[in-house]
Amino acid sequence: MFQNMGLYDRIIRVVVGLVLGGLYLGGVVEGTTAIVLFVIGLVMIATSAIGFCPAYLPFKISTKGK
């Protein structure tokens, strides 16, 4: 599998994922919204870890430099 995410894209995703996870774990958001935000945070961290975002494929987007 090839990577289509650049360094800054990956850093931003990790930060946003950690913030969303923190909101859930800190009890700031509750209910279904909290679970959805937590899952989105996990997905953002996972895609950042592997450097590949499947949502970029249909649009042929790559933030990775040459």
Question: Over the stretch 3-60, which tens digit does the pLDDT of each residue have?
Answer: 999 999 999 999 999 999 999 999 999 999 999 999 999 999 999 999 999 999 999 9
- pLDDT for the residue numbered 1: 72
| Radius of gyration (C-alpha) of the chain in whole angstroms | 13
- Asked whether residue 2 is assigned to any structural domain, the reply reads no
d(CA 6, CA 52): 9
- pLDDT for the residue numbered 66: 75
Structural domain tally of the chain? 1
- Asked whether residue 17 is assigned to any structural domain, the reply reads yes
- Asked whether residue 1 is assigned to any structural domain, the reply reads no
- Asked whether residue 44 is assigned to any structural domain, the reply reads yes
- Asked whether residue 65 is assigned to any structural domain, the reply reads no
- pLDDT for the residue numbered 56: 93
- Asked whether residue 18 is assigned to any structural domain, the reply reads yes
- pLDDT for the residue numbered 65: 82
d(CA 53, CA 45): 11
